[in-house]
């Protein structure tokens, strides 16, 4: 009996110590944008992040939103179990980086790109990237829309903001080569 109790105690200690404090799922909503740089003829691409969230599997969500005045708001909310579980079923089935967007050459899309990033217990990550459209996975869209529509209260932490900045830099590095940059014509060469 004592041996079983010792084995059970050791098992519980090992299981509880193996859990990480990091978030189970991250959601980032972003747009690519450009601005003219220095010298005047150059174009600089950058990522604008509208929403960044870290979600625990119990539904606890910490997120930041960028307001119109470009300042960030940080808040915490609880995600409804049924919305989170249906999205997690999709995310858990995918084990590699996936783009769920249709290639739409010649289409105009001004909305955000949404990326769900899952980190497993060994620290490896995989992501699902998509745009908001009627062809997007309804469970992922529902989770994003729930977070987006209910994120209206505030607080702030530096660690959280640093994690957001790291994801923006990561997106820039991975996707900059696939962005088609427009040609900028100097003002003196514009035909009227």
At residue 107, the pLDDT reads 66
Three-state secondary structure of the chain = CHHHHHHHHHHHHHHHHHCCCCCCEEEEEEEEEEEECCCCCCEEEEEEEEEEEEECCCCEEEEEEECCCCCEEEEEEECCHHHHHHHHHHHHHCCCCEECCCCCCCCCCCCCEEEEEEECCCCCEEEEEEECCCCCCHHHHHHHHHHHHHCCCCECCHHHHHHHHHHHHHHHHHHHHHCCCCCCCCHHHCCC
The per-residue pLDDT string of the chain (192 residues; one tens digit each, 9 = 90 and over) reads 556 545 544 554 444 444 444 448 999 999 888 877 666 677 778 888 888 999 998 999 988 887 665 667 778 889 999 999 999 888 888 878 888 766 656 566 778 889 999 987 777 888 888 888 777 888 998 898 888 887 755 545 667 777 888 888 888 888 887 777 666 555 555 444
The DSSP symbol for 90 reads H
């Amino acid at each position: 009996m004592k041996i079983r109790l010792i084995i059970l105690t050791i098992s519980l200690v090992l299981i509880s110590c193996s859990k990480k404090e990091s978030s189970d799922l991250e959601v980032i909503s972003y747009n690519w944008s450009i601005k003219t740089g220095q010298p005047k003829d150059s174009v600089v691409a950058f990522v604008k992040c509208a929403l960044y969230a870290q979600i625990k599997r119990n539904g606890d969500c910490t997120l930041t939103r960028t307001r119109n005045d470009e300042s960030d708001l940080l808040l915490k909310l609880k995600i409804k179990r049924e919305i989170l579980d249906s999205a997690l079923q999709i995310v858990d089935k995918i084990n590699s980086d996936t783009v769920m967007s249709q290639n739409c050459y010649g289409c105009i899309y001004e909305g955000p790109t949404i990326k769900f990033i899952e980190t497993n217990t060994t620290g490896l990550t995989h992501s699902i990237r998509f745009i908001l459209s009627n062809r997007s996975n309804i469970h992922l869209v529902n989770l994003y829309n729930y977070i987006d529509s209910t994120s209206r209260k505030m607080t702030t932490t530096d660690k959280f903001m640093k994690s957001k900045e790291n994801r923006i830099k990561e997106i820039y590095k991975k996707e900059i080569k696939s962005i088609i940059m427009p040609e900028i014509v100097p003002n003196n060469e514009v035909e009227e």
